[in-house]
Amino acid sequence: MPSGPESFVSDPKYTAEFTRAREVLLGHPGRWRIIYHYDGDGIASAASAIRALRRLGYGVQATPFQGVRRAHMEELLRGTAGPVWVVDTGSSWPELYAAHPHPVLILDHHKYTDPEAVAQLPSRVAFVNPLDWGVDGMSELCAATLTWLYTIFLDPRNWDNAPWGVSGAIADRQHVGGFRGVNALLVEEALRRDLLGRGPRLALLGPTVGRALGRSIDPYFRGLSNHPEAVDPFIKGLGIDPAKALGSLSPAESDLLGEALVAHLTEQGVRPEFVALFRQERWSVPRLGLDAEELSNLQNATGRSGAPALGIALALGDRSALERAREAEEGWRSGILAGLKRIEEGAVHRMNAIQWFDSPENALAGTQAGLAMSYLLDPHHPVLAGSRDGDGPVRVSGRGTMWLVGQGLDLATALNEAAEAVGGEGGGHRVASGATVPAPRWTEFLDRVDRIVAGQLHAPEGGRP
Question: What is the full DSSP assignment across 338-371?
Answer: HHHHHHHTT--EE-SS-EEEE-SSGGGHHHHHHH
In terms of phi and psi (left: phi > 0; alpha: psi -120 to 50; beta: otherwise), the region of 4 is beta
**Residue 163 to residue 66: CA distance in whole angstroms:** 23
Instruction: Based on the fold, state whether residues 193 and 250 are members of the same structural domain.
Output: no
User: 76 in a domain, yes or no?
Assistant: yes
**Residue 142 to residue 171: CA distance in whole angstroms:** 9
Instruction: Based on the fold, state whether residues 26 and 170 are members of the same structural domain.
Output: yes
**Residue 358 to residue 360: CA distance in whole angstroms:** 7
- Strands 355-358 and 383-388 turn out to be parallel
Please tell me whether residue 34 adopts helix, strand or coil conformation.
Answer: strand
User: 432 in a domain, yes or no?
Assistant: yes
Q: What is the mean pLDDT of residues 96-101?
A: 96
**Residue 141 to residue 130: CA distance in whole angstroms:** 7
Instruction: Based on the fold, state whether residues 32 and 161 are members of the same structural domain.
Output: yes
**Residue 457 to residue 464: CA distance in whole angstroms:** 9
pLDDT tens-digit map of 267-314: 999 999 899 888 888 999 998 899 999 999 999 999 988 899 999 998
Instruction: Based on the fold, state whether residues 248 and 354 are members of the same structural domain.
Output: no
pLDDT number for residue 463: 46
Q: What is the mean pLDDT of residues 115-132?
A: 95
The better pLDDT of the pair 141, 318 is held by 141
Q: Kindly tell me if the per-residue pLDDT of 68 is higher than 80.
A: no
**Beta-carbon count within 10 A of 35 CB:** 25
**Beta-carbon count within 10 A of 109 CB:** 30
Instruction: Based on the fold, state whether residues 24 and 172 are members of the same structural domain.
Output: yes
Among 199, 224, 250, the domain boundary falls at 199
Instruction: Give percent of the chain above pLDDT 90.
Output: 83
User: 7 in a domain, yes or no?
Assistant: no
User: 269 in a domain, yes or no?
Assistant: yes
pLDDT number for residue 459: 58
pLDDT tens-digit map of 351-383: 999 999 999 988 899 999 999 999 999 999 999
pLDDT number for residue 177: 84
User: 463 in a domain, yes or no?
Assistant: no
Q: What is the mean pLDDT of residues 437-454?
A: 97
Count helices and strands (H / E) in the chain: 19, 14
Q: How many domains does the chain fold into? A: 3
pLDDT tens-digit map of 146-160: 999 999 999 999 999
In terms of phi and psi (left: phi > 0; alpha: psi -120 to 50; beta: otherwise), the region of 53 is alpha
Q: What angle do CA 279, 283, 285 make, to 5 degrees?
A: 150
Question: How far apart are the two ends of the chain, measured CA to CA in Å?
Answer: 49
Compute CA distances 438 → 36, 73, 387, 418, whole Å.
24, 18, 12, 12
User: 6 in a domain, yes or no?
Assistant: no
In terms of phi and psi (left: phi > 0; alpha: psi -120 to 50; beta: otherwise), the region of 60 is beta
User: 376 in a domain, yes or no?
Assistant: yes
Contact by Cβ (8 Å): 112, 62: no
pLDDT number for residue 362: 83
- What CATH number is associated with residue 109? 3.90.1640.30
Among 291, 309, 341, the domain boundary falls at 341
User: Does the pTM exceed 0.85?
Assistant: yes
110: DSSP letter: S
Instruction: Based on the fold, state whether residues 144 and 49 are members of the same structural domain.
Output: yes
pLDDT number for residue 315: 87
Instruction: Based on the fold, state whether residues 138 and 42 are members of the same structural domain.
Output: yes
Q: What is the mean pLDDT of residues 57-76?
A: 90
Instruction: Based on the fold, state whether residues 337 and 354 are members of the same structural domain.
Output: no
The helix (run of H) or strand (run of E) holding residue 183 is helix 181-192
Selection from 183, 172, 175, 182 nearest residue 40 by Cα:
172
Report residue 134's pLDDT band, with 50, 70 and 90 as the boundaries: very high
Instruction: Based on the fold, state whether residues 46 and 139 are members of the same structural domain.
Output: yes
Selection from 439, 401, 437 nearest residue 420 by Cα:
437
**Summary mean pLDDT of the chain:** 93
Contact by Cβ (8 Å): 430, 110: no
Contact by Cβ (8 Å): 355, 377: yes
pLDDT number for residue 144: 97
- What CATH number is associated with residue 402? 3.10.310.40
Instruction: Based on the fold, state whether residues 131 and 173 are members of the same structural domain.
Output: yes
Instruction: Based on the fold, state whether residues 217 and 325 are members of the same structural domain.
Output: yes
User: 39 in a domain, yes or no?
Assistant: yes
pLDDT number for residue 275: 93
- The domain of 325 spans 209-341
Report residue 189's pLDDT band, with 50, 70 and 90 as the boundaries: very high
Among 147, 174, 199, the domain boundary falls at 199
Instruction: Based on the fold, state whether residues 19 and 168 are members of the same structural domain.
Output: yes
